[in-house]
Structure 1
Amino acid sequence: MNSERCVPSSETNIFKMSLADISNKFTEITLTEIIKKAGGTKYTSYKFGEPFKKGDSYLSKVFRISVYGLNENNGKIVEVQLIVKAMPENMTRRKIFRSADFFRNEIKFYTCIIPAWEQFQKRRSPQRPFNQYPNCYASYCDGENDFIALEDVNILGYSSPKRQEYNSMEECMLIMRTLGRFHGVSLAFKALEPEKFEECCMCLEVSPTERETYFAQKYRSWYKDFSKLACVVAQDAIKQTYPAKLSVVSHGDCWTPNFLTRWSPEGKPEATVMIDFQLARFASLALDISFFIYSCTSQILRESHYETLLRTYYESASEMINDLGADPDKVLAWSELLKEMQSMGRFGCGMGIESLPMSMLEDDEVKDLDEITGDATLSDVWDIKPFTCARKRQRLADIFKHAIDLVSQSSVKLEEFTAVLTKISLLPSTVQFRKHSLMILLTRIRFVSRKNCLAHELLAIILKRTFHGSKWMRSWPRMQSAVGIGQIAPYLPHDSRQSFWLSKRFTSPILAALSIIQKSFAVQTH
């Protein structure tokens, strides 16, 4: 049989798409290059796979495609199954999600970072090199026709769990081990070959003086409205990057869909690969860890196994560092990891505000991004509505509880504190609590120590939310007397003691909680 007849013809595609639907620069020349990278000599045909559903990607349009060719030297058929990400056709969507910036960053990750890592590992000859990412077969970057063609690891048995669900403990342990190995390469590279590592990281810079790819000052107009939900915490954390000792090439978007898992016949998670490096940056390793823990685990798991997860990460990173020839005790001490998590852990809470509401959307709640028109903004597209499901509200509120518990030196229990937050979380700002209901809430959390500024700040916010304008001013003295809020001034950051109470910045409990967490760190560290 003629070998070429064993592969489908491009004309028989059941999905009516062409190469130009991907990009004007994705041509048969590209397919020939892909076949040659896979060990063939001649491209013969291609076939599109089933399209992705809306909501699977915001920054790009995504295609499945199989490319077929021959090795004319031995007559063998070559087949390459790919996931190809390309720029959205909708120009407003491109602008809103800064597709060009993030495409450039991911392409640089695959064309600069990965080759440098591979060469470093080749020089160090580890027994278990890190390679838990898809191979890149082709890419193009000009800001208009960008694409990146990656190995489709689904055919190797890897799949993404449903984004609305929590990760199990077994999955979390596997992901923490993978993340430890991922960061371990950077830590060993930086310790053993610092100049080459610095040169490698330079490719992720947005400009010669700015490495931040997401909350950089130059993009403030892009994120300023939406960032009311997240940047109070996240931007502050991201700024603390190079040259911190525990800074690494971080993934930047460590939530469940970006860890594809392979399962054993017994239903156990046995391997994982990392995907989607658009937000890769040089930053504290704690950012990836905290983002994953807060966005993808349940409150029960965090309370019971937080240290176990950190230990799993630490041991995996140490093994990778040792395998590459560096001293893990000098490169990543356990005590330093704990300090890093305490000082940077709020990042995960901040990013949880962004990722969790989006991850909990049902398929029929996801907007069709290609219908975006006109002068829409990021906050128009990521229009987060109040949750009607109590379970979803609880999941979001739980993030704050653990973050506050983590940084607070007080032994006070915060279950009721969280219950209050849950009760008012995500209610429209026009909702007014009746006074007697408010007093019931205040009574329930008066058990909190008067030195616990976190709880008292929340009390003040509840009061402000309930009494606006003249009502607020008339009610303030009685409320202040009732809960003793005046006693907490010494425990607040100085610049907030006067302005905090009368400002109208905080229009929702979520923003309030972000401020609480931010201020708690300020109190702990000053």
Structure 2
Amino acid sequence: MSSTKEEEHVFSCYEITEECVKEALEEDKGRSAKLLSWKTENFTKKGDNYMTVVKSLKVKYKSDQRENEKSYVTKTLGHNPMKAFRDITKMGFHKEAQFYSEVAPALNVQLTEVGQLPLRIPACYYTSLELKEEVIILEDLRSRGFQMYDRRKEMDVAHITLVLKELARLHASSFLLRSNDGYENLEEVYKFITVDWINLNDESIKFSRELFEGFIENAVAILNKVGKYKQAIDWLNKLKPNVHTKVEEQLMQKSPQFSVICHGDCWNNNTLFRYNDKGHPAEVVLLDLQLTRIASLATDLNYLTFTSLEGLDRRKNINSYLKTYYMTFQEILEAGGLKMPFTYEELLEEYKAKHVFGIMSALEIVPLVVGEASEVPDYGNISEGGTDSFVQKQRDNMLQMFEKNPLLRQRFLPIFEDIIDGDIS
């Protein structure tokens, strides 16, 4: 037996073992598959991942007297100098592993029983949550032609439509599940999914509060540099002292008709697309489920539209986009014999009511989206008590990017149009 390891991520605290590779292979190919050799390789770059160490796992095996090769994707839990970030990443890793092992199978049963396709997420072949042995082994979707979308580009109509439809399927499937005996209270069935990074413990609360306040300070610095954004600056300064409370309220306060299992982190970087012969997107897969939560479906919609769409497109076409989402949601519920719990007008109002979360998400994500690798802040190296210096470094990068990177101006300034036009209080 042979194994080869490429250079490990600087914060990786656990190496893949032969035993977990065997178990993943047997789960995928059956117990007759015999592992011959394996190796891990780096294939992501800075800016692609923030909470886990992601690698490619190349496996050679023997089955039916033939030698074969298969590629998988491994996710391991990284190690960060700051306790708050370590706690958050561990929480997220555990949530993702349990989503794959417990939640996704239950949701897929609901979908397939009403004649729908399973959720478009990677197949999961192995999970371990043992201390210092945390690992997830997933399908390598590149083998089916899926590829990352350019995170520096806003999604066009064809791409965002696929993502909205898949989000609707995810959200609606939890309504189907909730209609079953014993699943009426999903928070009790899946208690792990109610844990959230914004209020995990005292350290995470302090960390998230400092981040939110820092993102507002960075935005104000940019707007002051640009000028002509006094109304948005006043709104941000008014929000700053209570921003953590406001975001927490938007995530935690649930109206029954909108409460679903959310992706939590649905933006450009966490999607893969397969294209047809004409180069048009034909299918999407949702990735990175570390921030799944039970919350208003409008939090996912705000997160996606504020981080992954150009501002003018979002504002001009939001009715069309939300109607696409609504119709897909309705299709799934009707297949299961359920009535829609809300009207389209109520969906639109709920979407607008969660704009603070959308704006705060964009203040963090958009600079990451449009930045070059050298301009992307390294969450993996935040030191204990170093949130201020981290935010300051991001601010310095943003001010420099504003001079030389037209994408930042193009994507960042339209975030505040809803404030200026009075669409948000």
Q: Which category describes the TM-score, using the shorter chain as reference length?
A: 0.7 to 0.9
Which amino acid counterpart does residue 135 of structure 2 have in structure 1?
A: F
State whether structure 2 residue 108 is matched by structure 1 residue 118: yes
Give, as a single letter, the amino acid of the residue that structure 2 aligns with 1:80: K
Q: Return closer, same or farther for 1:168/1:374 CA change in 2, 3 Å cut-off.
A: closer
Match of 1:26 among 16, 20, 24: 16
1:326 aligns with 2:326: no
2:67 pairs with 1:96: no
Bigger-Rg structure (1/2): 1
Q: Are 1:170 and 2:179 matched, yes or no?
A: no
User: Are positions 1:239 and 2:252 aligned together?
Assistant: yes
Q: 1:204·1:281 contact (CA, 8 Å) conserved in 2?
A: no
Secondary structure of 2:44's aligned partner: coil
Q: For residue 57 of structure 1, what is the aligned residue in structure 2?
A: 49
Q: Deviation per CA, 1:453-508, whole angstroms, max 9, x where unpaired?
A: xxxxxxxxxxxxxxxxxxxxxxxxxxxxxxxxxxxxxxxxxxxxxxxxxxxxxxxx
1:356/1:369 CA distance change after superposition, 3 Å: closer
The 3-state SS of whatever aligns with 1:215 is: helix
Q: Which residue of 2 aligns with 1:221?
A: 206
**Which residue matches 1:198?**
185
Closer/same/farther in 2, CA of residues 168 and 403 from structure 1, 3 Å limit: farther
Q: Distance in 1 between the 2:162 and 2:153 partners?
A: 17
Which residue in the other structure is 1:347 paired with? 357
Aligned pairs (5 A) from 1:23-172: 24=14, 26-40=16-30, 41=32, 42-71=34-63, 74-77=64-67, 79-88=69-78, 90-92=79-81, 95-96=84-85, 98-122=88-112, 125-172=113-160
Instruction: Tell me which residue corresponds to 2:231.
Output: none
- In structure 1, the gaps of 5 or more residues are 1-8, 409-516, 521-526
Counterpart Cα distance in 2 of 1:54 and 1:290:
25
Whole-Å separation in 1 of the counterparts to 2:85 and 2:352? 33
The residue type equivalent to 2:311 in the other structure is Q
2:319 and 2:188 map into 1 onto residues whose CA distance is: 30
TM-score (norm 1): 0.67
Q: Residue 425 of structure 1 aligns with which residue? A: none
Equivalent-residue separation in structure 2 for 1:354 and 1:374 (angstroms): 19
Cα drift, residue 22 of structure 1: 6.5
Q: Once the 2 structures are TM-superposed, how far is the Cα of residue 177 of structure 1 from its aligned partner?
A: 1.3
For the 8 Å contact 1:43–1:69, the answer to whether it is kept is yes
Cα shift readout 1:326-353 (whole Å, capped 9, x = no counterpart): 23xx334223212211222332112111
Contact between 2:47 and 2:373, CA under 8 Å: does it hold in 1?
yes
Counterpart Cα distance in 1 of 2:42 and 2:8: 14
Q: 1:38 to 1:380 in 2, by over 3 A?
A: same
- Match among 407, 412, 415 for residue 399 of structure 1: 415
Residues 75 and 95 of structure 1: CA distance in aligned 2, closer, same or farther (over 3 Å): farther
Cα 1:110–1:378, aligned 2, differ >3 Å: closer, same or farther? farther
Q: 3-state DSSP class of the match of 2:337?
A: coil
Matches within 5 A, 1:97-496: 98-122=88-112, 125-190=113-178, 192-193=179-180, 195-199=182-186, 202-205=189-192, 211-216=194-199, 218=201, 219-228=204-213, 229=215, 231-232=243-244, 233-241=246-254, 244-327=256-339, 330-367=340-377, 372=381, 374-382=383-391, 383-385=393-395, 386=399, 387-388=402-403, 389=405, 391-402=407-418, 405=421, 408=423
What is the SS of the residue equivalent to 2:72? strand
Q: Secondary structure at the match of 1:178?
A: helix
Q: Which amino acid aligns with 1:37?
A: E
Which amino acid is the alignment partner of residue 235 of structure 1? E
Residue 229 of structure 2: aligned partner: none
Q: Percent of aligned pairs with the same residue?
A: 23
**What's 1:487 paired with?**
none
Aligned equivalents of 2:169, 2:298: Cα separation in 1: 14
Tell me the amino acid that sits aligned with residue 169 of structure 1. Answer: V
The 1:201–1:340 alpha-carbon spacing in structure 2 relative to 1, beyond 3 Å, is farther
Instruction: Report how far residue 354 of structure 1 moved.
Output: 1.1
Q: Go from structure 1 to structure 2 and tell me whether the alpha carbon gap of 1:369 and 1:121 turns closer, same or farther (over 3 Å shift).
A: closer
Structure possessing the higher relative contact order (Cα contacts under 8 Å, 6 or more residues apart): 2
- TM-score by length of structure 2 reads 0.82
Structure 1 pair 366/320, CA: closer, same or farther in 2 (3 Å)? same
**Would you say the 8 A contact 2:106–2:177 is kept in 1?**
no
Tell me: CA distance 1:310–1:369, structure 2 relative to 1, closer, same or farther (3 Å).
Answer: closer
8 Å Cα contact 1:238/1:283 also seen in 2: yes
Q: Which amino acid aligns with 1:205?
A: F
Contact 2:152 2:369 in 1 (8 A): yes
The unaligned stretches of length 5 or more in structure 2 are 217-242
For 2:146 and 2:409, the matched residues in 1 are separated by 31
Q: Report the Cα distance in structure 1 between the residues aligned to 2:315 and 2:14, rounded to whole angstroms.
A: 51
SS in 1 for 2:338: coil
Q: CA deviation at 1:133?
A: 0.0
Higher-strand-fraction structure: 2
Query: 2 CA distance for matches of 1:259 and 1:45?
Result: 30
Would you say the 8 A contact 1:171–1:269 is kept in 2?
yes
Q: CA deviation at 1:69?
A: 2.1
What is the CA RMSD across the aligned residues, in angstroms? 2.7
Post-superposition offset of 1:203: 2.5
